[in-house]
A and B are shown apart, each in its own frame.
Chain A
Amino acid sequence: MKLDRRYGFPLALVACLFIPVLVHAQIADEIAYRTFPVIGSRVAIWAVAQLHLLFAAFVLAVPMFVLIIEYIGYRTGEKRYDRLAYEFTKLLSVAFSLTAAMGALLTFMLMVLYPKFTNYLVSIFGWTFLPYALLFIAEAVFLYTYYYGWGKFSPRLHLALGVGLNLVGTAILFIADAWLTFMMSPSGITESGGLENLWAAVNNFTWMPINIHRLIANISFGGSIAAAYGAYRFLSAKTDEERAHYDWMGYVGNFIAICAFLPLPFAGYWLANEIYAYSQNLGMTLMGGAFSWLFIIQAVLIGMLFLAANYYLWMGMERIKGAERFRGAIKYLLISVAVCVLVWAIPHSMVASIEEARKMGGAHHPLLSVLGVMSAKNTAVNILILTTYISFLLYRRGNKEATVSWAKTGNLAQFLIFTATIAFVVFLGIYGYFVEAKVRIGLSIPQVLSVLAAMVSVTVIDLMMFRTARERGEIEWGKMPVRAQYTLVFTAISFTWLMGLMGYARSGLRQHWHVYGVLRDTSVDAFTPTLGYASYVVSIIVLIFFSFIAFVFWLAGISDSREAK
């Protein structure tokens, strides 16, 4: 009976979501748009869709790393992993309900405000709604059984539930991605827009790149929110034991966020590549047209995230006995991060007054514009990733001393790999200035692959070298400054803002099309707003999201204090 009540709310939401869709088609024939009061239909849909996506990202991502943490706890027998996994899971229950509520609201608003467009999507994807609804129910069953069954089932059965939860969550993501990617790169339809092949409509150009990009980004985002929860609990902790636990929780969350963050630019590159492959016009709008300045804002955000990630690791080294020997390296790492971020944030064409533009001989700065092109930016981001990886490597080695006989050779090999990779990446970056576009675009791939290869090979050497390492001292969990906790909160806000911005980029890219090249936007909102306007909307969405997240954290805290009693 108790179980029924737990499932009641999400199941009711599912019913609310899908039954109206079936009766919606008739109404949609009559009118194309309706106006939302005060803020207009576009902003209303924008806000609700983004909030739904943020909560969905969190709900899909957390079970992925919870499962891994639980598995580590199961294999090692260390209770602290199990406790950590359970604490992360606590955040899911309310977040799942909020995700469903936002999803229902989004569906209703689409039907009311954009009936013709919604009707068109239903005509293409109607057959995907039933499996989506069933999967949604399955997710509710898995999630609540996984959460409420903690410690009550055998570990293996519980892990199996976690696997099921992740599989179902991923399938839901993939179906929803089919709808939204179809809007950007439609396929499987006739010239007049009618459905020809459902699988082709699902498997459109940007479907799989978005699936992968979102999976990785979700983990990164989920990790950062979980780390922010650790920071919040650390700051409210009353005992050293609590502080130690939540310091560790914050570290694990941040570690997950950064690990997923490092390959994210590569997934983003693949996505952009597929956008170009689908439509050069769309690609040019994204990178060279109206949205090109959005990537300068993105560069500031990503630069801040990399700075915060490195700063947190450097502060973390202060609580590791033995890590002080690496302090000298930090200033060089900081210089590298700062230079790379600056290069990445330099625009190709400058914002200048007419007088300044005349002095420069155009919108391009004679010197700095050289660094504003993709050759320089790709080089910068690759070195930035390597630098962050080096910071993590030093952190990891903090209290360890290799005892294997080949330690010196191993260190030398790692140094040579880094040096050769950086030289190769810089060489390709410079070479890109001297070749035609077709060749230049292709150079990004060897740059990316060389960095990935370097990280994998150095990690393998490091794991082997430090497997039997001697410890120089302990990690004093809990001995982290308050500013480190604010760094975690900063990272979570930056990730959220970045997701909001890129959500706008993906959706706004279609400009005056609901479905690119197929269904034109003829509403009063068909124009693309300024980036400043978009930034304000994103900021407000982020603040609303964090208000909800504060509620989630508060509820999780209440649950903890009840359990403690």
Chain B
Amino acid sequence: MKHLLGIVLFTVLVTAFYGYVGQLVPQQETYPPQNTEVSENLTTSEMVDVGREIFDGKGTCIACHTIGSSEAGRFPDLAGIGASSASKKEGLSDVEYLAESLYEPDEFIVDGFSPGMPPVNKPPISLGQQEVLTLIAYLQSLGVQPTVTMQTKLKYAAEIQENAATDLASSEEVGGEELGGEALLAAQGCIACHHLTEPLRLVGPSLFDVGKKLTRGEIYEALMDPDATIAEGYPPGLMSASMSASGFYEKITLKQLESMVNHLASLEGGK
């Protein structure tokens, strides 16, 4: 019996130790890449900014490529790519070369590297044509003044079947994906219990300055687990019961949830 207890205690201690080791490394949650707003009227300089955002985010380019690193990476360093791209492949201009590298990366492999880059218009990256144009603008800016515009026609445009496979996931989603955060809050019936524009108490507390009181994480928690923290003077269980009954947790998508959290976080009491 003594040894049995010893083994039980030992098991708990060793397991707790490994659990503790897991706390010692950097803690980071990774969210699905955000869709970048790309307007058709962007100036070239705005395109560069958007392209940089895509390079670091949705495009996941930064996972494999470096810019100006002295360390030998798995894929080519892109410092100066804007200047060198015009002479990389005979018969192709810089924009054409960059477009080919993005849409058909295996067409030309830089010496010393292996093929392996996925076409950016296909899953898992799934960039749209306009996003690709901004990415080209950013890559051009690494060396020269960008010449690409939102009106530039790429030969791949007709061939693209954007997001073909991703549609498998999105086509059957519950509606409302296109709605903004405010409209979603209305559509989900939140405004029946919460005032969003005035500090007036309804069934639940007013949310008109919730962005000042709660962090985005706390707002997220308040939506997903309403009973975790109850505002003083309000009954526990009411919100979770009504949301469960309305099927909120079964219908809501991550994107919709993000829109709602974003909108609530922006409510700072009219300021």
Interface residues of A (CB under 8 A from B): 29, 31-35, 116, 120, 191-193, 232, 235-236, 276-277, 279-281, 284-285, 288-290, 293-294, 296-297, 300-301, 347, 351, 435-438, 440-441, 482, 486, 489-490, 493-494, 497, 511-514, 516-524, 526-536, 538-539, 542-543, 546, 550
Q: Is the CB of A511 within 8 A of B32?
A: yes
A35 vs B170: C-alpha distance in the bound complex, in angstroms? 19
Nearest chain B CB to A242 CB, angstrom units: 13
If the complex has contacts A192-B168, A546-B11, are A436 and B72 also in contact, measured as CB distance less than 8 A? yes
Q: Is the CB of B125 within 8 A of A281?
A: yes
If the complex has contacts A32-B173, A297-B21, are A543 and B28 also in contact, measured as CB distance less than 8 A? no
Q: Is the CB of A531 within 8 A of B124?
A: no
Q: Is the CB of B15 within 8 A of A542?
A: yes
A521 vs B14: C-alpha distance in the bound complex, in angstroms? 34
Q: Is the CB of B118 within 8 A of A530?
A: no
For B249, the chain A residues whose CB sits under 8 A away are 34-35, 524
If the complex has contacts A192-B167, A280-B116, A527-B32, are A351 and B25 also in contact, measured as CB distance less than 8 A? yes
Nearest chain A CB to B26 CB, angstrom units: 6
For A279, the chain B residues whose CB sits under 8 A away are 116, 118, 124
If the complex has contacts A192-B165, A519-B169, are A489 and B7 also in contact, measured as CB distance less than 8 A? yes
Q: Is the CB of B124 within 8 A of A516?
A: yes
Q: List 6 A-B contacts (CB under 8 A).
A: A32-B173, A232-B3, A288-B74, A497-B14, A522-B254, A529-B29
Q: Is the CB of B114 within 8 A of A438?
A: yes
Partner of A524, one of B10, B165, B257: B257
Interface residues of B (CB under 8 A from A): 3-4, 6-8, 10-12, 14-16, 18-32, 60, 63-64, 72-75, 112-114, 116-118, 122-125, 161, 164-170, 172-174, 224, 244, 249-250, 252-255, 257
Nearest chain B CB to A533 CB, angstrom units: 8
For B254, the chain A residues whose CB sits under 8 A away are 512, 521-524, 526-527
For A542, the chain B residues whose CB sits under 8 A away are 15, 18
Apart from A522-B169, A536-B19, list 17 A-B contacts with CB within 8 A: A29-B172, A236-B4, A280-B75, A437-B113, A438-B113, A486-B6, A489-B11, A494-B14, A497-B18, A512-B254, A524-B249, A531-B22, A531-B27, A534-B22, A535-B22, A538-B18, A543-B12
Nearest chain A CB to B237 CB, angstrom units: 13
If the complex has contacts A32-B173, A280-B117, A517-B165, are A530 and B64 also in contact, measured as CB distance less than 8 A? no
If the complex has contacts A522-B253, A529-B29, are A535 and B19 also in contact, measured as CB distance less than 8 A? yes
For A277, the chain B residues whose CB sits under 8 A away are 116
Q: Is the CB of B32 within 8 A of A493?
A: no
Nearest chain A CB to B84 CB, angstrom units: 18
Q: Is the CB of B22 within 8 A of A297?
A: yes
Nearest chain A CB to B171 CB, angstrom units: 10
For A546, the chain B residues whose CB sits under 8 A away are 11, 15
A273 vs B74: C-alpha distance in the bound complex, in angstroms? 13
Partner of A351, one of B21, B24, B172: B24
Q: Is the CB of A297 within 8 A of B14?
A: no
For A281, the chain B residues whose CB sits under 8 A away are 60, 63-64, 118, 124-125
Q: Is the CB of A530 within 8 A of B29?
A: yes
Q: Select from chain B the residue with minimum beta-carbon distance to A373.
A: B71
A514 vs B170: C-alpha distance in the bound complex, in angstroms? 13
Nearest chain A CB to B21 CB, angstrom units: 5
Nearest chain B CB to A517 CB, angstrom units: 4
Partner of B165, one of A31, A191, A493: A191
Partner of A437, one of B11, B60, B72: B72
Q: Select from chain B the residue with minimum beta-carbon distance to A117.
A: B169
What 4 A-B pairs come out closest when comparing CB atoms?
A535-B22, A520-B169, A517-B123, A512-B32
Q: Select from chain A the residue with minimum beta-carbon distance to B60.
A: A281
For B63, the chain A residues whose CB sits under 8 A away are 281, 284-285, 288-289
Q: Which of B12, B29, B168 has the most CB of A within 10 A?
A: B168
Q: Is the CB of A33 within 8 A of B250?
A: yes
A116 vs B161: C-alpha distance in the bound complex, in angstroms? 24
Nearest chain B CB to A294 CB, angstrom units: 8
Q: Is the CB of B117 within 8 A of A235?
A: no
Nearest chain B CB to A271 CB, angstrom units: 17
Q: Is the CB of B14 within 8 A of A513?
A: no
For B116, the chain A residues whose CB sits under 8 A away are 276-277, 279-280
Nearest chain B CB to A201 CB, angstrom units: 14
A522 vs B24: C-alpha distance in the bound complex, in angstroms? 30
Nearest chain B CB to A510 CB, angstrom units: 9
A290 vs B6: C-alpha distance in the bound complex, in angstroms? 37
If the complex has contacts A437-B73, A438-B112, A528-B30, are A32 and B174 also in contact, measured as CB distance less than 8 A? yes
For A511, the chain B residues whose CB sits under 8 A away are 30, 32
Q: Select from chain A the residue with minimum beta-carbon distance to B250.
A: A34
If the complex has contacts A35-B249, A285-B63, A522-B169, are A191 and B164 also in contact, measured as CB distance less than 8 A? yes
Nearest chain A CB to B229 CB, angstrom units: 16
